Amino acid sequence: MKFRVERDMLAEAVTWTARGLPTRPPVPVLAGVLIEAAQDGTVTLSAFDYEVSSRIEVAADVAEPGTVLVLGKLIADISRQLPNKPVEFATDGNRVSITCGSSRFALLQMPTDEYPTLPTSPEATGTVAGDVFTQAVAQVSVAADRTGTLPILTAVRVEVSGDKMTLLATDRYRLATREITWNPHSSDVDTVVLVSARTLSDTAKSLGAAAPISLGLGSAAGGNGLIGIEAGRRRTTTRLLDGDYPKVSSIFPASSDSEAVLSTAALIEAVKRVSLVAELHHPVRLRLSDGQIGIDAGAGDDAQASEAVECTFTGPDIEIAFNPHYLLDGLQAVGTPYSRLSFTQSNRPAVLSGQAEADSEADSSYRYVLMPVRFGG
């Protein structure tokens, strides 16, 4: 094998491919990046850990086609540090030489015959705008369980019905859902898949928001339990989670008695400051009345803090407490200048949604439901 490629193109491709390589792979070859040079002038870099596969194509001057497997983290580190000059790859016995200007590296080849075959991506089910999908995944994945106590709750539930896609995640203490419009290849598509929230979030971020994203939903396209995600020359697959997601529709309050509309940024900053004195697992308390939200934390002999934020408030006064980290997760995910907080009772879930203006309607496409925390008098 022998080819030449631009340094920046190589560094970006290797970094993207190697980003999810396991730190302690079950077999040594899974720590490698597979590099395949084709006579047509394309070089394909791939990685696979039996759960997630990544593949990217770059243009190169290929003198001799071939395939090599090299340690992924090492070649990623090397490619980022090379001088800004063309990079030449060539095999030399059981080594791969990398030459860039006066820099030269010789890496040991790993056995390609021991490397597993990458899964075939499911047939594309439809496409979605990259910026819309990336934002939706970020907004919803914050609510997925991170402890792994109940594995099914580490997933994002993705439901598609015609041109509507609904993403949902919950860890039992909060729930986030986002509804977006996408472009299915068939108008009668109707399916639900469960995708690891961590993998989906990492993938959406890495693909970027500029290009349209193609999705192949395994259960809809006969994809053997996989979801395929592709943008430009980047393709990834991940294994779907198996099981029944809890029926959580009953968590959404049917109506609200009190509502507050206020600056998202102002509330974020106030909660951050007040929560500095909130010890681990201790809540911040919100007291809502006409014209303001009072926020405080701490009690008795402990450190205390309080602050008030202006708001437009309707309905009966209410006092309610939340885990400050969960509240901040929702506020930072809402993505609009103003937020609307809707309440029923102090011991019932509250709903956070966003809106563009203080006096506009709430955008119900994103809802973040937050369970309150008990607090003393």
The verdict on 103 and 181 lying in the same domain is: no
The domain boundary, picked from 219, 249, 279, lies at 249
The domain boundary, picked from 249, 264, 296, lies at 249
The verdict on 194 and 277 lying in the same domain is: no
Q: What is the rounded average pLDDT of the residues 343-362? A: 93
Q: Please tell me the predicted confidence (pLDDT) of residue 266.
A: 97
**Which amino acid does the sequence have at 350?**
A
Tell me whether residue 131 is in a domain: yes
Q: What is the rounded average pLDDT of the residues 189-208? A: 92
Give me the residues paired with residue 107 across strands.
96
Tell me whether residue 199 is in a domain: yes
Tell me whether residue 120 is in a domain: no
Measure CA 235 to chain center: 16
Q: What is the rounded average pLDDT of the residues 247-275? A: 92
Q: Please tell me the predicted confidence (pLDDT) of residue 219.
A: 61
Statement: residue 55 has pLDDT above 80? yes
In total, how many domains does the chain have? 3
State percent of the chain over pLDDT 70. 98
Order of strands across the sheet that contains 226-231? 66-71, 32-37, 42-48, 52-59, 234-239, 226-231, 213-217, 126-128, 183-184
First to last CA, the chain: 73
Beta-carbon contacts of 234 under 8 Å, excluding residues fewer than 6 positions away, are 16, 54, 55, 56, 206, 207
Closest to 334 (Cα-Cα) out of 356, 354, 311, 309:
354
Residue 275's pLDDT band (cuts 50, 70, 90): very high
The verdict on 276 and 224 lying in the same domain is: no
Compute CA distances 33 → 7, 42, 55, 198, whole Å.
17, 16, 10, 21
Tell me whether residue 375 is in a domain: no
The verdict on 266 and 287 lying in the same domain is: yes
Statement: residue 251 has pLDDT above 90? no
Q: Please tell me the predicted confidence (pLDDT) of residue 245.
A: 92
Tell me whether residue 137 is in a domain: yes
The verdict on 199 and 304 lying in the same domain is: no
Higher pLDDT, 282 or 353: 353
Tell me whether residue 119 is in a domain: no
The verdict on 261 and 243 lying in the same domain is: no
Structure tokens at 178: 């986002």
Tell me whether residue 377 is in a domain: no
Closest to 252 (Cα-Cα) out of 136, 367, 161, 372:
367
Tell me whether residue 376 is in a domain: no
CATH number (domain holding residue 232): 3.10.150.10
Residue 148's pLDDT band (cuts 50, 70, 90): confident
CA–CA distance, 294 with 305 (Å, rounded to integer): 11
Q: Please tell me the predicted confidence (pLDDT) of residue 376.
A: 62
The verdict on 107 and 198 lying in the same domain is: no
Statement: residue 301 has pLDDT above 80? no
The verdict on 17 and 47 lying in the same domain is: yes
The verdict on 257 and 245 lying in the same domain is: no
pLDDT digits (tens, 9 = 90+) for 202-214: 999 888 777 899 9
Give the burial string for 133-157 (b: 16+ CB within 10 Å, else e): bbbbbbbbbbbbbeeeeeeebbbbb
pLDDT digits (tens, 9 = 90+) for 81-96: 999 999 999 998 999 9
Statement: residue 354 has pLDDT above 90? yes
3-state secondary structure 99-138: EECCEEEEEECCCHHHCCCCCCCCCCCEEECHHHHHHHHH
The verdict on 110 and 164 lying in the same domain is: no
The verdict on 161 and 239 lying in the same domain is: yes
The verdict on 151 and 234 lying in the same domain is: yes
The domain boundary, picked from 74, 89, 114, lies at 114
Statement: residue 221 has pLDDT above 70? no
CA–CA distance, 147 with 189 (Å, rounded to integer): 33
DSSP class of residue 173 equals: S
Inter-residue contact 362 to 340 (CB < 8 Å): yes
pLDDT digits (tens, 9 = 90+) for 6-44: 999 999 999 999 988 988 898 999 999 999 999 999 999
Q: Please tell me the predicted confidence (pLDDT) of residue 220.
A: 42
CA–CA distance, 361 with 223 (Å, rounded to integer): 41
CA–CA distance, 179 with 377 (Å, rounded to integer): 38
Closest to 234 (Cα-Cα) out of 252, 201, 212, 249:
212
Domain of residue 331, residue span: 253-370
State percent of the chain over pLDDT 90. 80
Per the prediction, the chain carries an average pLDDT of 92
Q: What is the rounded average pLDDT of the residues 269-281? A: 88
pLDDT digits (tens, 9 = 90+) for 180-190: 999 999 988 99
Q: What is the rounded average pLDDT of the residues 115-127? A: 92
